[in-house]
Amino acid sequence: MLEEIKFRFIAGTAIEEAIQVARTAARIYSCIVKFRFNGVNMEVCSSDDINEKVTEYMSKLKGSKKCLIKKT
């Protein structure tokens, strides 16, 4: 099993950049990188495709926003 490390990104970081940095770290350290980005939990491995991870992020983000909207 791969080790896990957690990352934090500063405000203003684009999701594409965050995933790229996480994937690079996963490759260097042979681990899984976990981080929370705008309320969405993400995991990135060394072999992950950046575009697929961005799509996954957007899907999770849309799903979480639906849960926050209350009908009155």
Q: Where are the domains of the chain?
A: 3-67
pLDDT at 36: 97
Backbone angles phi, psi at 34, to 5 degrees: -115, 140
- Burial grade of 72 (CB within 10 A; 0-12, 13-18, 19 or more): exposed
pLDDT at 63: 84
What is each CA distance from 19 to 10, 38, 67, 68, in whole angstroms?
A: 13, 13, 25, 25
Tell me which residues of the chain have a pLDDT lower than 50.
none
pLDDT at 69: 53
Q: What is the pTM of this model?
A: 0.84
pLDDT at 72: 56
If we measure between CA atoms, which residue out of 38, 42, 39, 58 comes closest to residue 7?
42
